[in-house]
Amino acid sequence: MPSILPARPFGALRLADVLTSSLAAISGEPNVFNLPPVSKAVVVLADGLGVSAIKARAGHARFLASRLTKTSVIEGVFPATTVAGIAALTTGVQPGMHGLVGYRVLDGANDRVVNQLSGWDEGMQPDTWQRARTVFEQAADVDVPSFVIGPKRYEASGLTQAVLRGATYVSADSVADRFAAARRVLDENARALVYLYVAELDIAAHAHGWESAKWLGALETLDGEIATFAGGLGADEGLLLTADHGVIDVPHTKHVLFDTVPELVAGVRHIGGDPRCLYLYLESPTPGAADALAEEWRSVEGDRAWVFTRDEAIASGLFGEVADEVRPRIGDVIIAARKLVAYYDSREPNQSPRQMIGQHGSMTDEEVRIPLIRAGAFGN
């Protein structure tokens, strides 16, 4: 039987250090990436762009691939999902402290599972549910203006309010317009911390797969725009490109309808997480109940998934340090896919998510290893 704990350790250089290091460089302070002092820093997050995909499509991403070395590979977060990753980037802390510990998690006060990407409402306030101060708020403490550049549709979202507070939001819908806006921000400010978000790769991957022509076109667009932007950077302007997670393609034939095995859902009240990282919340979490359910899963899915209880996951450091109020948001039992599968509940009325091809959430190298591409003053 495979080990119940993760087979791969997480590295020391993490996504949570990227934006904090950039602010430190502007302030002329030491930082974990040894970035030199600059007046202005731009951090680009390409949603869904894993290291393995850049290597596999190097001919279509010549700028990015040419700067991808052993020292430009870092680790994302667990679970490898957007809300957890972006919040780690913009707060500088791991999910166990910022509180966005999965795509769908338990809101115990209201006995429901909430979607932290798009399900914000009065019962889940962005300014308190996400617990940590953002790097943008920290930048204001040292008189460094900060800016977020992204599509207009995200400007007023709950997630934006939760993880981007403290920054000035600059709307720009196309990738080209976002880089043009970043150039204007740099030109208009003596000092600036800029975060630029690129959603297009992740969107294409979910709908068509990362091996599709749609995804390849989005990669070529990003590579061309960032190469041009990097070429125009001044001597005191640094650029970093990173990602929140990578993506793998899971065919429909690899969907596992776990509810068809009654033992795997016995005593489960709520199901959260992602298809590649399930969170199971028990109806009555009595002593030993989580261990018993985990053992059932190991006996059925132990060759295809890492299975562990909440206590085991926290003890292994998967979420970093975990605050007491965040613990209940994590599933009593966690199922993290290790093979090319995705877990679905066939009882769910809305089966449209099963149309998704590109998937992420677990801790395979393809999902967790992300780039840290340096350019401008940071690449010299």
> 208: buried, middle or exposed (CB in 10 Å: 19+, 13-18, 0-12)?
middle
Do residues 99 and 134 touch, judged by C-beta distance below 8 A?
no
> Can you give the pLDDT at residue 282?
98
Q: Which helix (H) or strand (E) holds 303?
A: none
CA–CA distance from 209 to each of 118, 188, 268 (Å)?
A: 22, 39, 31
**Domain membership flag for residue 213:** yes
The amino acid at 230: A
**pLDDT tens per residue across span 141-166:** 999 999 999 999 999 999 999 999 99
DSSP assignment letter at 267: T
pLDDT at 3: 43
CATH no. for residue 298? 3.30.1360.180
Full domain range(s) for residue 265: 252-359
Amino acid identity, position 305: A
193: in domain: yes
Residues 235 and 306 in one domain: no
Burial zone of 126 (CB within 10 Å; 0-12 exposed, 13-18 middle, 19+ buried): middle
196 φ/ψ angles, rounded to the nearest 5 degrees: -120, 125
The answer to whether residue 111 is domain-embedded is: no
Helix (H, G, I), strand (E, B) or coil at 163: helix
Nearest to 224, CA basis, from 198, 243, 246: 198
Confidence (pLDDT) at 8: 60
- The verdict on 346 and 369 lying in the same domain is no
- pLDDT recorded at residue 285: 86
Same domain, 267 and 221: no
Report pLDDT for 93: 98
The token duo for 70 is 């052993």
Domain count, the chain: 2
pLDDT of residue 122: 87
Question: What does the pLDDT look like over 22-80, one tens digit per residue?
Answer: 999 999 999 999 999 999 999 999 999 999 999 999 999 999 999 999 899 999 999 99
Q: Under a CB-based contact definition with an 8 Å cutoff, are residues 131 and 326 in contact?
A: yes
* Per-residue pLDDT at 379: 95
Find, among 81, 66, 83, 67, the residue nearest to 246 by Cα. Answer: 81
Residue 48 Cα distances to 205, 242, 371, angstroms = 8, 10, 11
| Helix 18-26 × helix 82-91 angle, to 10° | 20
pLDDT at 186: 98
3-state secondary structure of 23: helix
Residue 154, domain member (yes or no): yes
217/343 same-domain check: no
pTM score, whole prediction: 0.96
Q: Supply the CATH number for residue 202's domain.
A: 3.40.720.10
Determine the Cα–Cα distance for residues 106 and 113; give it in Å rounded to an integer.
4
Query: Which pLDDT score is estimated for 265?
Result: 98
Q: Is residue 4 part of a domain?
A: no
Q: Are residues 61 and 131 in the same domain?
A: yes
Regions of the chain short of the pLDDT cut 70: 1-8
Q: How far is CA 218 from the centre of its chain?
A: 19
How far apart CA 159 and CA 127 sit, in angstroms, is: 10
- Give the dihedral sign, CA 233/39/242/11: positive
